[in-house]
Amino acid sequence: MDEKRRILIVDGQAEWQNRLRQAFPDGDYDVEVAGDYYEAACSLDLHKVALIVLDPTVSAGREKAGDAGEVMSLPGILRNFPQLPVIIVTNAEGQARLSRTPDLPPDLPVIRKENWDRIAFTALVRQALSGEQWGPPAPEITPAPAVEHAQMPVPSYAGLTGPLSQRSLGLTGPLITGLVPPPVGSRPGKPRVLIVEENPEWQHTLAQLMDAEGYFWRVASSYDEAMERLGMESYHVVLLDLMLGGTETQEGKGWKLLDNLLATNPKTKVIVASGEASRSDVARLFMRYPIKGFIDKAAFHENELLSLVHEQLGGPALRIQMLGGFRIWRDGKLINNLGDERAETIIKVLLTRRGENVSVDELIECLWPGSEHKTVYAELGASINQARAALEPDMPRPNDSNFILRNGANYTFNFMANVEVDVEQLRHLVGEGRQHERSGDVDGALKDYEAARAIYLGDFLPGDRFAQWAIQERAAAQALYTDALNRMADLYADRGQLDRAIEAAARSLQVDAYIESTYRRLMRYHTCKGDRNTALSVYRTLVKLFSEFFGEEPGDVTQRLREDIEAGRPVVCVEASAVSGEWRIASER
């Protein structure tokens, strides 16, 4: 049976939520309701939605977002989900708000609540879901007076009362040089850069650099345009020239914009450029404002600017401990708060899956076992945003996370980002040690195995010992570590360093007491030291373990070794790497 298409209704009024929901038959659609943009963002982050029915007058819902950063807006939905149909159902206030919002698609369908017609609405829904063009043609609109760039078209909007302001058109129209900004909705997931620059030549130079990097960029040529753009969407980086309004004094528009950014967009990274700033101005910039860099236009180098931008977009460096405890350091500082318990669990689950996709349903089952999934979607979205914000508190919005990425209806932890995980280091070191062994480099192998030993501070996520999603990874880490200890013990034994060999093998048994070959190693090492009694004591411990817990005797290889020791016959001091009959009890029980 085909899965029902999901409809998302975004409306803050209970009366209209019910009215719109009733327009979709239960047997044909799966309808979800969001009361504000924050709830809508959570739903879109979790599900594949076929259609959004939205009233743009809903609140942002920022009080729910907490530290999760900015929430979505109508332009944000259109930009991040360019293929997703949207139908606007609103009142006169909402339609007026739309007329003041730049970058809306010209065929965006708008239905006035005052003229509600369920039959007409249902027909429009069918058109949207079938991929047909929207209903009524755009009305004839008298063109606004010509502006400086007369070649730029004035878009018309179906259902709206008039065109956008001419000032807004300058934000997305071609530059004087002809360079065209990326279309609305293009380059999803790419960094967003706002260039605040009066000089057309510098506009082109900076925009061309950002375009070559594949970034989503916009140009604002004045303080007012920059404020309008910043109020409409978030940016990762703002490239700001202090020469706005013709002055670089601290009363000028460039400084004023810096003050505004600090107050209203503190998470946006700002790189300042100037051709005339004095040394004292530059010193004041770095002392008073958290700017991320300064570019001297008189000595401009493209690579210098790009390096600064890349540095700001790379995200922080994370160091993650999962062995012996769970801790995360961001840029060398311990993160004391990872959000609520569910946000922390989400991070752990994604890390445990080692870059694999984890579906929304899997995450819900980990957090709310046996629950009705529909009832906790919004909570999951909020917890994911908390987790993202805990790792990267300075990102403009949760979807900009460098670490927790969305892939359709799945999430994954980005191990290609600037992240260091102790379990992955353990795997790397043990693998390198084996390579050194195969090439005959014993010193290199021992160095790697000792480094792996230093990393293993305890079992994998000991606080989640009974969590089903952690069991397999815990066993794998244990097996990797004990194998490294046993290999290290044999290398030491082969060099005649029997005390070190005994210590390594004994440590292996402390981690996993059910590896029979480790007992044989200890029997060999003690015998080669001339301590037959201790060697036989090790054997008796093994017999007791087997008989009490498994009701079995040790294997033939082990029993023959015991017979050789009792008879005083010489034994090989190093356990063979592929002894016949070697087996691991825990894997067979």
Burial of 178 (0-12, 13-18, 19+ CB in 10 A): exposed
CA–CA gap between residue 428 and residue 454 (Å, rounded): 14
User: H/E element holding 273?
Assistant: strand 269-274
> 161 to each of 100, 111, 171, 173, 231, how far by Cα in Å?
10, 13, 21, 21, 22
Angle at 286 between CA 284 and CA 287, to 5 degrees: 60
CA–CA gap between residue 508 and residue 538 (Å, rounded): 14
Residue with tokens 């298409």: 5
pLDDT per position as a tens digit, 157-216: 222 222 333 333 334 678 888 888 888 767 766 788 999 998 889 999 999 999 998 888
DSSP letter, residue 274: E
pLDDT per position as a tens digit, 269-323: 899 888 777 777 788 788 888 888 888 888 888 888 888 888 877 778 899 999 9
pLDDT for res 543: 92
Cα–Cα nearest to 456, from 436, 434, 478: 478
pLDDT per position as a tens digit, 362-407: 999 999 988 887 778 888 888 999 999 999 988 877 777 889 988 7
Averaged pLDDT, 507-525:
93
Averaged pLDDT, 518-536:
94
CATH number for the domain formed by residue range(s) 5-130? 3.40.50.2300
Identify the weakest region by mean pLDDT among 222-226, 275-279, 479-483.
275-279
- Identify residue 562 by its one-letter amino acid code: R
CB 227 within 8 A of CB 260: yes
Shared fold status for 5-130 and 174-313: yes
pLDDT of 436 above 80: yes
Averaged pLDDT, 102-110:
74
Identify the weakest region by mean pLDDT among 75-79, 512-516, 555-559.
75-79
Question: Strand (E) positions, 394-503?
Answer: 404-407, 410-413, 419-421
pLDDT of 152 above 50: no
Residue with tokens 């002894």: 579
Identify the weakest region by mean pLDDT among 138-152, 261-275, 394-408.
138-152
Query: Spelled out in words, what is the top-level CATH class assigned to the domain 174-313?
Result: alpha beta
In CATH terms, the fold of domain 422-588 is 1.25.40
Beta-carbon neighbour count of residue 209 at 10 Å? 19
| Helices of type H across 233-278 | 253-264
pLDDT for res 425: 94
CB 242 within 8 A of CB 254: yes
User: H/E element holding 217?
Assistant: strand 216-220
pTM (predicted TM-score): 0.62
Q: Where are the domains of the chain?
A: 5-130, 174-313, 318-417, 422-588
Second CATH level (architecture) for the domain 318-417: Orthogonal Bundle (1.10)
